[in-house]
A and B are shown apart, each in its own frame.
Chain A
Amino acid sequence: MEKIKVGIYWAASCGGCDVSLLEIDEQILDVAAKADFVLWPCAIDTKYADLRAYKDGSIDIVLFNGAIRTEENREIAKLLRDKAKYLVAYGSCAQMGGVIGLANLSSRKEIFTTLFGAKTHWPKEESNQDGYPLHLPAFLDRLLPLGDVVEVDYVIPGCPPPREMVSQFFDALLGGKLPEKGAVFAAEKNLCDECPRERREERITRIVRPHEIEPDPDICLLDQGIICMGPATRGGCGAVCPMANMPCTGCAGPPANITDQGATMLITIASLIGTGLEGEEELEAEEAILAEIDDVIGTFYRFSLAASIFKGAHRE
Chain B
Amino acid sequence: MSEKIRRISIDPITRLEGHGRIELFLDEEGELADAFFQIPELRGFERFCQGRKAEDMPQITERICGVCPEAHHLASTKALDDCFSATPPPRARKLRELLYNAYIFSDHLLHFYYLGGPDYLVGPYAPPQERNIIGVIGKVGPELGKEVIKHRSYGQRIIEAVGGRSIHPVTGLPGGQSKAINEEERSEIEKMARSCVEFGRVTLSVFKKMFLGDKTYQKFSQEKAQRLPTYYMGLVDEDGAVNFYDGKVRVVAPDGEEFALAEGKEVLDLIAERTEPWTYVKIPYLKEVGWQGFRAGKDSGIYRVGPLARLNVCKRMGTPLAQVEYEAYLDYFGGGMVHATFAYHWARIVEMLAAAEQTTRLVADPELMEGALRSELSDPGEGVGIVEAARGTLIHHYLLDEKGLVRSANLIVATTHNIAGISLSIKEMARAVVHNGEVDQGILNLIEMSFRNYDPCLACATHAFPGQMPLLVVVRDSAGREIKRIER
Q: Which residues of A contact B (CB under 8 A)?
A: 10, 12-20, 22-23, 25-26, 28-29, 32, 37, 41-49, 69-70, 72, 98-100, 102-103, 105-106, 110-111, 114-117, 120-124, 127-137, 139, 159-160, 163, 209-211, 214, 217, 240-241, 243-246, 249, 294-295, 298-299, 302
Residues of B within 8 A of A (CB): 1-2, 5, 7, 10-12, 14-19, 23, 25, 33-34, 36, 38, 40-48, 50-56, 59-60, 63-67, 69, 80, 84, 110, 114-115, 128-129, 131-134, 137, 142, 145-146, 149-150, 152-153, 156, 163-168, 170-171, 173-175, 178-179, 275-280, 282, 373-374, 377, 403-405, 445, 457, 459, 465-466, 471, 473, 475-476, 478-480, 486
- Cβ contacts under 8 Å, A124 to chain B: 277-278
Q: Separation in Å of the A130 CB from the closest CB of chain B?
A: 4
User: Apart from A44-B128, A136-B38, what are 18 other A-B pairs with CB-CB below 8 Å?
Assistant: A13-B66, A15-B18, A15-B65, A15-B457, A43-B114, A43-B133, A105-B51, A114-B44, A123-B280, A129-B277, A129-B480, A132-B1, A132-B36, A163-B166, A210-B178, A246-B170, A295-B52, A295-B56
Contacts of A43 in B (CB 8 A): 14-15, 114-115, 132-133
Q: Which residues of B contact A115 (CB under 8 A)?
A: 42, 44, 46-47, 465
**Bound: A67/B277 CA distance, A:** 24
Bound-state Cα–Cα, A316 to B315, Å: 58
Cβ–Cβ < 8 Å partners of A136 in chain B: 38, 40, 278-280
Contact A12 B36 (CB under 8 A): no
Q: How far is the CA of A70 from the CA of B459 in the complex (A)?
A: 14
Q: Is the CB of B41 within 8 A of A69?
A: yes
Asked if residues B51 and A72 are in contact (CB atoms below 8 Å), the reply is no
| Contact among A16, A98, A114, A129 for B276, CB-based, below 8 A | A129
* Contact present for A70 and B40 (CB under 8 Å): yes
- CB closest chain-A residue, reference B374: A214
- A-chain residues with CB within 8 Å of residue B64 when the two chains form the complex: 14
With A14-B63, A14-B64, A132-B23 already in contact, the answer to whether A47 and B178 are too (CB < 8 A) is no
Shortest CB distance A307–B (Å): 16
Evaluate whether A246 and B1 lie within 8 angstroms (CB atoms) in the complex, with A121-B473, A123-B280 already known: no
Measured between beta carbons, the chain A residues less than 8 angstroms from B132 are: 37, 43-45
Which residue from A37, A111, A116, A130 sits with its C-beta under 8 Å from B275?
Answer: A116
Assess whether B66 is in contact with A19, with CB atoms less than 8 Å apart.
Answer: yes
Is the beta-carbon distance between A295 and B66 smaller than 8 angstroms? no
* B1 and A131 contacting across the interface, CB-CB below 8 Å: yes
Least Cβ distance of A34 to chain B in Å?
12
| Nearest Cβ on chain A to B353's Cβ, whole angstroms | 22
- Residues B473 and A134 in contact, CB atoms below 8 Å apart: no
Q: List 21 A-B contacts (CB under 8 A).
A: A12-B43, A15-B65, A15-B67, A15-B457, A17-B66, A20-B167, A32-B134, A43-B132, A69-B41, A99-B63, A100-B63, A115-B465, A127-B277, A132-B23, A209-B53, A210-B173, A211-B377, A214-B374, A244-B171, A294-B53, A298-B51
Chain A residues with CB under 8 A of B280 = 123, 136, 139
Q: Considering only CB atoms, which chain B residue lies closest to A251 in the complex?
A: B168
Most chain B Cβ neighbours within 10 Å, of A13, A41, A48, A115: A115
Q: Which residue of A lies closest to B135 (CB)?
A: A44
Q: How far is the CB of A4 from chain B (nearest CB, A)?
A: 14
In the bound complex, residues from chain B placing their C-beta under 8 Å from that of A19 are 66-67, 110, 167
Q: Is the CB of B476 within 8 A of A12?
A: no
List chain B residues, Cβ under 8 A from A129: 34, 36, 276-278, 476, 480
Question: Does A130 lie within 8 Å of B174, measured CB to CB?
Answer: no
Given the interface pairs A123-B279, A209-B53, the reply to whether A45 lies near B128 with Cβ below 8 Å is yes
* Interface pairs A-B: 6 shortest CB-CB: A16-B66, A244-B164, A134-B278, A45-B128, A127-B277, A102-B48
Q: Which of B11, B17, B146, B405 contacts A294 (CB 8 A)?
A: B405
Do residues B473 and A120 form an inter-chain contact, with CB atoms below 8 A?
Answer: yes
Check if A26 sits within 8 Å of B146, measured CB to CB: yes
Q: Report Cα–Cα, A73/B93, bound state, in Å.
A: 40
Give B178's nearest chain A residue, CB to CB.
Answer: A245
- CB-CB under 8 A from A294, the residues of chain B are 53, 403-405
CA distance A228 to B17 in the complex (A): 32
Shortest beta-carbon distance from B451 to chain A in Å: 14
Complex contact B179–A245 (CB within 8 A) = yes
Complex Cα distance A214/B180, Å? 12
Nearest CB on B from A76, distance (A) = 9
Q: Do the beta carbons of B133 and A16 come within 8 Å of each other?
A: no
Contact assessment for B17 and A209 in the assembled complex, using a CB-CB cutoff below 8 Å: no
Closest to B107 in A: A19
A45 closest partner in B (C-beta):
B128
Bound-state CA distance A29–B290 (Å) is 50
Q: Which residues of B contact A29 (CB under 8 A)?
A: 137, 142, 145-146, 149
Task: Assess the A12–B41 pair: CB atoms within 8 A.
Answer: yes
Contacts of B16 on A, CB cut-off 8 Å?
42
Structural contact, A23 and B40, CB atoms closer than 8 A: no
**How far is B11's CA from A114's CA once the two chains are assembled, in angstroms?**
29
Residue of B7, B63, B445 ringed by the most chain A CB atoms within 10 A: B63
Q: Are A241 and B40 in contact (CB under 8 A)?
A: no
A106 contacts which chain B residues (CB < 8 A)? 44, 47-48
Contacts of A123 in B (CB 8 A): 42, 275-280
Please report the C-alpha to C-alpha distance between residue A257 and residue B190 in the assembled complex, in whole angstroms.
45
Do B471 and A117 touch across chains, with their CB atoms under 8 A apart?
yes
A16 (CB) vs chain B CBs: closest residue: B66
Cα A29 to Cα B36 with chains together (Å):
37
Closest A-chain residue to B127, C-beta based?
A45
Q: Once the chains are docked, how many angstroms separate the CA of A226 from the CA of B373?
A: 19
Per the bound structure, the CA–CA distance linking A124 and B51 in Å amounts to: 28
Interface centre among B131, B280, B282, by most A CB within 10 Å?
A: B280
**In contact, B51 and A295 (Cβ under 8 angstroms):** yes
- Closest Cβ–Cβ distance, residue B360 to chain A (whole Å): 22
Question: B84's closest neighbor in chain A, by CB?
Answer: A211
B42 touches A70 (CB 8 A): yes
Cβ-defined contact, A160 with B445, below 8 A: no
Question: In the assembled complex, which residues on chain A have CB atoms less than 8 Å from the CB atom of B45?
Answer: 100
> For residue A69, which residues in chain B have a CB less than 8 angstroms away from its CB?
41-43
Q: Which residues of B contact A130 (CB under 8 A)?
A: 34, 476, 480
Check B164 against A14 for contact (C-beta < 8 Å): no
Q: Is A28 touching B67 in the complex (CB atoms < 8 A)?
A: no
The answer on a CB contact under 8 Å between A14 and B459 is yes
- What distance in Å separates the Cβ of A127 from its nearest Cβ neighbour in chain B? 4
A129–B404 CA distance with the chains assembled, in angstroms: 44
| Residues from chain A with Cβ under 8 Å of B465 in the complex | 114-115
Which of B47, B50, B132 has the most CB atoms of chain A within a 10 A radius of its CB? B47
Q: Is the CB of A246 within 8 A of B63?
A: no
Residue of A with least CB distance to B72: A14
| CB closest residue in chain B, given A17 | B66
Please report the C-alpha to C-alpha distance between residue A263 and residue B377 in the assembled complex, in whole angstroms: 33
Shortest CB-to-CB span from B274 to chain A, Å, is 9
Residues from chain B with a CB closer than 8 A to the CB of A28 are: 149
| B175 touching A16, Cβ below 8 Å | no
Q: A16-B167, A43-B15 are in contact. Are A249 and B59 (CB under 8 A)?
A: yes
Least CB distance from B67 to A in Å reads: 5
